[in-house]
Amino acid sequence: MNLRIGLGFDSHEFEEGKPLYLGGVRIDFPHGLKGHSDGDVLLHAITDAILGALGEPDIGELFSDKDERWRGVRSEVFLEEALRRMRERGYEVVNLDCVLIADEPKISPHKEAVRENLSRLLGAPEDRISLKGKRREGFCEAKGMACICVVLLGKRDEG
């Protein structure tokens, strides 16, 4: 199998009153994440990890925040484009490992719903997807959320 690994990182500040989406799932919380799109820090990091694994341009190059087409758009649109490029080249997700860094909201109550939705979006079984919540423990100011993830893509050898 041909393997390619990708790393994704993203962070967004909180924005009062905006709906919060993590991994495409609406989370009940008083703040959302600031950004040109819905601010889904998890989907942005995953999208960038997949694009990085493929050696494609990153999310900021493909979907500039200066481009009005992407204002207020759901982040599934970005992930779908990364997946389209992945499938076009014959790759699938072998596994994905994500760390969400935030003091709040707590990730554990939402973990299963988010993994289930990621499994649906990526077309990969849930046992290939890992999601962990980490508190910031004094690292930087807690005014938002960050996400780091690693994805492994694989393509079966031809012939």
State the residues that interact with Zn ion by CB under 5 A: 10, 44
Of 35 and 105, the one with the shorter C-beta distance to Zn ion is 35
To Zn ion, the closest distance from the beta carbon of 64 in angstroms equals 12
- Cβ burial 137-150 (10 Å sphere, 16+ → b, else e): eeeeeeebbbbbbb
- Read off the tokens for 159: 């012939």
Q: Is the dihedral of CA 76, 42, 145, 106 positive or negative?
A: positive
Closer CB to Zn ion, 70 or 95, in the complex: 70
Report the nearest approach of Zn ion to the CB of residue 7 (Å): 15
Decide: 158 and 5 in contact? Cβ < 8 Å: no
Least Å distance, CB 78 to Zn ion, is 9
Contact 91, 4 (CB under 8 A): yes
| Calpha distance 115→93 (Å, rounded) | 14
Residue 47's nearest CA partner among 14, 93, 101, 89 is 93
- Give the shortest CB-35-to-Zn ion separation in angstroms: 5
Q: How far are the Cα atoms of 2, 71, 81, 132, 150 from residue 157, in angstroms, in the given order?
A: 6, 40, 24, 32, 22
- State which residue has the least CB distance to Zn ion: 44
Nearer to Zn ion, 43 or 128 (CB): 43
Of 44 and 110, nearer to Zn ion (C-beta) is 44
Closest CB to Zn ion among 37 and 119? 37
Least separation in angstroms between residue 41's CB and Zn ion is 6
